Structure 1
Amino acid sequence: MNEETEKARQSRKAAMEAQAALRRERAAEKLRENLSRRKQQVRARRSGQADETQGLPAAKKPAAKMDES
């Protein structure tokens, strides 16, 4: 019985390591995408072009409303 629990423990450990490796791969991919996007923004600013952001519209400042009183 001790041998079975050891095999189960090793199996769980291998599964956890595989999941951790997948998480690291996804994180690395996201970091590469982010770096590429930031480099593109810097290049656009240097050449005088507008940024092509994909941010949230709610994060932009609204136009100032004039007080009509």
Structure 2
Amino acid sequence: MTTSKDVQRMRVSKSCYLLQFSKLNAEEIAWRSGYPDAAPSARSFIGYVGLTPGEYRRRFGAF
């Protein structure tokens, strides 16, 4: 059985990928990563990565 933290880690990993390699907006990335909207997605992202999703995209985005 997967724990809640494992699920969050997988969601953040998916968000990282989408932030790096797509031009999707924050709402779409949150939805595709399994979050209902951008707010809980951003909170989890900051907790695991230490950057906001926007900061992450500016540093590591391919576009």
- TM-score under structure 1 normalisation? 0.36
Larger Rg: 1
- TM-score under structure 2 normalisation? 0.38
